Amino acid sequence: MSEATFTFRVDESLKDQFTTAAKDRDRTAAQLLRDFMRDFVRQQQEAAEHDVWFRRQVQVGLDSANAGNLVPAAEVEAKFAAKREATRRRLKAAE
């Protein structure tokens, strides 16, 4: 793996504080910056992967709905009313 230099400007006070904080953790500022960069890249990749997954799931749902695979609202309401009632009974029995 070849290495490259990354140069940027930062307020002197921030640089000093960052360097001190890095030393307090037995790390160099460069080590921490590389870690931060790796973490940022990883987070962006994970976010992109999640976005792809989420869009696929939405499309699956849309395709299913467009194919007529729907549950009537009254049926959903009745099912969850029964679940709520069962939970209430369990809570009351636990008292």
d(C-alpha 38, C-alpha 6), whole Å: 14
The residue type of 75 is: E
Map 47-86 to HEC letters: HHHHHHHHHHHHHHHHHHHHCCCCCCHHHHHHHHHHHHHH
Dump pLDDT digits (tens) for 6-41. Answer: 899 999 999 999 999 999 999 999 999 999 999 999
Q: Is the pLDDT of residue 76 over 90?
A: yes
Single-letter amino acid, residue 23: K
Read off the tokens for 25. 């953790």
